[in-house]
Amino acid sequence: MSNIFLQQNFNTPFNTIPFEKISLEVFKEAFPILIENARQEFLAFCADPSENTFANVFDAKSPHQDALEVCSTVFFNLTSAETTKEMQAYVRELIPELTKFSLEKKLNKDYFNRIEDVHNSTDKTKLTSEEARLLEDVYKGFLKGGIKLPENEQIILKEYTEELAKLSQEFGENVLNATNEFQFFIENEADLDGLPADEIEQAKAEAIEAGKENAWLFTGQYTSYFPVIKYAKNREIRRQLLEGINSKNSVGKYNNQEVIKKIVNLRIKLANLLSYPNIADMILEDRMAKSSKNVKNFLHEFVEPAMKKGTQDMEELKAYALKIDGISDLQSYDTSYYSEKLRQEKYNINTELLRPYFQLDKVVAGVFECAKRLYQIEFFENKEIEVYHKDVTAYEVKKLDGTFVGIFYADYHPREGKKAGAWMTSFRGQYNDGVEHRPHVSIVCSFTKPTKEKPSLLAFSEVTTLFHEFGHALHGLLAKGKYESMSGTSVLWDFVELPSQILENWCYEKECLDLFASHYQTGEPIPQEYIEKIKESSTFMSGMVTARQIFLGTLDISWHTMETPFDGNVLEFENKINEQFQFTPRLKDESISTHFSHIFQGGYTAAYYSYKWAEVLEADAFELFLEKGIFNSEVAQSFENNILSKGNSEDPEILFENFRGRKTNNKALLKKLGLN
């Protein structure tokens, strides 16, 4: 067959995705056939008269379902990293079809009867931990999917689920379109005063590309607009830009306020239909936190220390702004600007002073070297592996003994059609069905592109972002599970950030920085005093930063513990929650909720707290590396064996205790943040 997705094997190196043979038309042709093939395969499985043993039900081959999964994975990864208006339009056609098929499976009584038969008749003690968890997860998933609802209520459930899928996609498209179309032109060169030369040069290139040669353009991409907020001396310019960014989805044609109301209210209905008081408790039942009450208690533990330190931070900032510029009414568009100036004065260090030491290529080589020292793996660029954009690089990953580990794709620079931010994803998961299938993972970032004059130079915060996403990639690459759905990063949401967040700690250690931090022009290593200043300044304004994190977690859990329909004002609701975390007045039409893709489009519904939850775990875990050595082979091997390779094969609390030797506590994190 000519359509690549209808072939059993791609005939590419390591069966990697043949991106050069893929187009929107290929997807449009493949999906209807793949969905129908998978449907017929599924119905045949449901009617199979063979005995309902664990092996017959959970180890049954499903090649058509696998083919559909591969096609879906590639398509939706591309809608995030390399999309077009035409692809977005097709998404709106495709999602209802995929959702319909998903619901057919979730509500098929014959399918459930086979699952339930295995669940009720199997001696769980004879299963591996991974098999037992898979059985329990699938069984509970059916119950939460409404399998035991009366038929009339199942119809309603289908309607809710399909509508939520559409709304989630609409929310995400609004955010993407508002980001892509946002333009802030500066036409007076004096208004650029304070900005680094690199940022000015990039803005000039953006403006020329947009057809305005006598201007500088700052876009909706964080790496474009944030330097203005951080460095521009013109206070009014900072205000206008931040106001535009913060309101890009709360007003105008990409306004998400009504979309949020619909999503929240449908989630309430969905939870109620399944006998839960709210969507948060329905979701959290299967997380480490267990309930919304526990999440609220967890977040509350940080409120007092964060606000105490945050208030001190703000008072110091206010006094500084008054002293140097006579500013007596510090605003949100001032905090980053004066924080950066104060940081430089206190620690004699700033982002632009450090940036020349963090050339992207060298940082990448550095994180690869860290992986080699910790986990004995190496990365080899392989140009025979096809990529979806010329900016993407593909690597073959091997153990030092030559054992194949997986494929790693790296996509570092922003462009039109690519979502802002950074994330890790997979094109193929790891599993073992008698044959070991190794993973193909990818990290996607938004680092400033190189220019003719300079390579891509990273801010230190971008260095930690790279290490963060690479930590997720290691979690995927080093997986050793039997089932793809339980392998790699397919763990509980409040555990998934542990491998990523812990790796950020290496960025603050001299032994690691010495591997890659050298001046891009002179080759001189980063001065020891700079390394010391990086560590000293790591708790700078940590109270305000932590307060914001707790606010975001609280905002998320507040939206999702509602038990009655919401018909209020989205901005007023958010403002009310923000009051206890507020250090400066909010801007006109400012809203986080309206572009909070994590909770209204991504997988972090009622789970944004998990970043802080995982931070507790990683701070505690990293203390062991600090005690034994950050490249200590025994500790690294234990982390790989107990955390990175295990996926969801065991209870994460047990996995953590196996690594740490005890239960976790938040003392290490409070100490790390200077909040103790």
Q: Which residues are catalytic?
A: 469
| Integer Cα distance of 612 and 554 in angstroms | 12
Cα 146 to the center of its chain, rounded Å: 29
Separation of alpha carbons 206 and 191, rounded Å: 17
- Contacts (Cβ under 8 Å, ≥6 apart) of 532: none
Strands of the sheet with 377-381, listed across from one edge: 377-381, 392-399, 404-411, 440-444, 423-428
Angstrom distance (rounded) from CA 669 to CA 221: 31
Task: Name the residue with tokens 């209802």.
Answer: 96
Looking at this protein, which amino acid is placed at residue 460?
F
Nearest to 414 by CA among 220, 213, 200, 195: 220
Q: Which H helix or E strand runs over 443?
A: strand 440-444
Q: What does 169-237 look like in DSSP terms, one character per residue?
A: HHHHHHHHHHHHH-EEEE--GGGGTTS-HHHHHHHHHHHHHTT-TTSEEEESSHHHHHHHHHH-S-HHH
Residues 385/16, Cβ–Cβ less than 8 Å: yes
Q: Cα(387)–Cα(410) distance, rounded to whole angstroms?
A: 10
Report helix, strand or coil for 525. strand
Radius of gyration of the chain (CA): 25
Q: Which residue has the tokens 């947009």?
A: 210
Q: Which residue has the tokens 């379109």?
A: 177
CB 575 within 8 A of CB 582: no
DSSP 270-329: HHHHTT-SSHHHHHHTTSSS-SHHHHHHHHHHHHHHHHHHHHHHHHHHHHHHHHHH---S
CA distance 437 to 350: 45
Count of C-beta atoms within a 10 Å radius of residue 227: 25
